[in-house]
A and B are shown apart, each in its own frame.
Chain A
């Protein structure tokens, strides 16, 4: 890689974001519109608003709830998915029910779950679980169903059964699909993290942003929107990193099959 190509790549990757940023910066520079403050003001507020104490008191609880809910959803989704996916009868019986549950827009469940769990952390975690679980579950079912028959027969003839078969054959074959479900679930989880806090809360990122909006602290509100966007971006980056490590074998296999 020569200096030239490195430069070209950097220009391609950074050019447009830089240009857009500059455009926003300069067009908003003299803005007197109350709702669209200059970017410089928003960024100035960013450091002021999101101090370490604030991050600890509002962002950390949000992230902890998201992590707890997401992990529970992964465990429940994959576990149930394995059960539903392996048994034909179970699958036939449950499929319409699961499709119905999946089709319910997850935020709608917030009022229902509030009936049972009040407005505390438990409610928020349950909301996240109840939204994130379905894509993981249904993708696991699909993945388990599509296990290669030759591999399955090979396993049987080698006497590989029980947990060994589950771990080395079923989970392994279904993992690309499970990861797809987990990726969909992550963006749903972020949405639900914010929504559950907008409903009823005393802390959290969504709560803080809505507070700013209600008290017409506009630059502060924009800084919160920026932080939320940044958070979404970082989480998806983290996910991609983890996926590339966990599924390196699969992506390599696909590449090899595409360009024989």
Chain B
């Protein structure tokens, strides 16, 4: 009873494999692809440099790449920048940790009791799509520019990502494995621990990866709109004082932060699932 993936329509492409060392073709394609990618990035920098010089775009709106680079270099030399970066990362990490912890616990509890699952389904479906930015005014009133208002937004947004993935994973249990565990007289907890959790883990990791990205977006948003300390607030300040190159430099920093978070999340995912990767079915899409 080979239980292989039978879905030809959607291959389990788990995102572009950056830096993946798959067994086949380790030599050739990877360096070419990397070189081409570097060429692409260099091209972007060149375009950004040339556009304002030629006069296609006013340098007031889009400073040449060299100027943005200089602004970035200056930022990196200043303490406030590093404090802001630390603030952003603190909000992100704390919010993500709370969301993942709460999401996994709630998901395992709800997912392992069918009645609970049926009873909460409609509530989850209603609460999940509520845009977290709707909470901005509430957060401002209750917590001001405190770290807590950032956390409220981050946790609300990323909690659902995790919860929904955990629930999807717990439901994906192979009935044969579950029946086998039952006939071996595994209790409810034993089945959760040894059958459901390993099945759900890939989904959970996908949820954590999605949540990590969402958490960064909401952390920066809170700083930008509410004015909690962090990169977002620095950006708002730079914008209102007309320091255009700094604005671009900070946008670039948030982008690089996003890329870094993505790469780390994927690496963690690969590590945690090294035993599973080969027959991995794609998790319920985000």
B13 near A142 with CB under 8 A, answer yes
A150 near B8 with CB under 8 A, answer yes
- Report A169-187 CB contacts with B as 1/0, cut-off 8 Å: 0000100110010011001
> Which residues on the A side are within 8 Å of B278 (C-beta)?
none
- Pick from B6, B135, B220, B259: contact of A257, CB below 8 A: B6
Q: How far is the CA of A190 from the CA of B220 in the complex (A)?
A: 17
A105 near B122 with CB under 8 A, answer no
Chain A: minimal CB distance from B159 (Å) = 14
In the complex, whether A20 has a CB less than 8 A from a CB of chain B is yes
What residue in chain A is nearest B240 (Cβ atoms)? A111
In the complex, whether B225 has a CB less than 8 A from a CB of chain A is yes
Q: How far is the CA of A12 from the CA of B118 in the complex (A)?
A: 6
Given contacts A13-B121, A96-B41, A195-B225, contact A232 B259 (CB under 8 A): no
Q: How far is the CA of A13 from the CA of B262 in the complex (A)?
A: 36
> Which residues on the A side are within 8 Å of B43 (C-beta)?
93, 97
Interface centre among A150, A213, A235 (most CB of B within 10 A): A213
> Which residues on the A side are within 8 Å of B6 (C-beta)?
257, 260
Interface residue stretch chosen among A69-77, A112-120, A155-163: A112-120
- Pick from A14, A16, A116, A173: contact of B61, CB below 8 A: A116
Within 8 A of A (CB), among B235-265: 235-236, 238-239, 244, 247-248, 250-251, 254-259, 261-262
In the complex, whether A236 has a CB less than 8 A from a CB of chain B is yes
> Which residues on the B side are within 8 Å of A109 (C-beta)?
251
Chain B binding surface SS class: helix
> Which residues on the B side are within 8 Å of A15 (C-beta)?
119
> Which residues on the A side are within 8 Å of B13 (C-beta)?
142, 145-146
What residue in chain B is nearest A14 (Cβ atoms)? B122
A111 near B137 with CB under 8 A, answer no
> Which residues on the B side are within 8 Å of A43 (C-beta)?
none
Interface residue stretch chosen among A46-54, A121-129, A221-229: A221-229
B258 near A228 with CB under 8 A, answer no
What residue in chain B is nearest A250 (Cβ atoms)? B9
Given contacts A100-B255, A142-B15, contact A191 B131 (CB under 8 A): yes
What residue in chain B is nearest A258 (Cβ atoms)? B6
A20 near B137 with CB under 8 A, answer no
B137 near A225 with CB under 8 A, answer yes
Count residues on chain A whose CB falls below 8 Å from chain B CBs: 73
Within 8 A of B (CB), among A242-260: 250, 253-254, 257, 260
Interface centre among B32, B136, B140, B244 (most CB of A within 10 A): B136
> Which residues on the B side are within 8 Å of A146 (C-beta)?
10-11, 13
> Which residues on the A side are within 8 Å of B225 (C-beta)?
107, 195, 198-199
Q: Is the interface on chain B under 10, 10 to 19, 20 to 34, or 35 or more residues?
A: 35 or more
> Which residues on the B side are within 8 Å of A191 (C-beta)?
131-133, 217, 221
- Pick from A16, A183, A198, A212: contact of B122, CB below 8 A: A16
Given contacts A93-B40, A107-B224, contact A233 B126 (CB under 8 A): yes
Q: How far is the CA of A115 from the CA of B59 in the complex (A)?
A: 11
> Which residues on the A side are within 8 Å of B262 (C-beta)?
99, 103
Chain A: minimal CB distance from B110 (Å) = 11
Chain A: minimal CB distance from B228 (Å) = 13
> Which residues on the B side are within 8 Å of A190 (C-beta)?
131, 133
What residue in chain B is nearest A115 (Cβ atoms)? B61
A105 near B220 with CB under 8 A, answer yes
Q: How far is the CA of A217 from the CA of B40 in the complex (A)?
A: 51
Can you report 19 residue pairs joining A to B where beta carbons are below 8 Å apart? A13-B121, A13-B122, A92-B36, A99-B259, A100-B259, A102-B258, A104-B251, A107-B232, A108-B235, A111-B224, A111-B235, A116-B61, A142-B13, A146-B11, A191-B133, A210-B137, A221-B137, A228-B130, A228-B134
**Chain B interface residues (CB < 8 Å from chain A):** 6-11, 13, 15-16, 18, 32-33, 36-41, 43-44, 60-62, 118-123, 126, 128-138, 140-142, 213, 216-217, 220-221, 224-225, 232, 235-236, 238-239, 244, 247-248, 250-251, 254-259, 261-262, 285-286
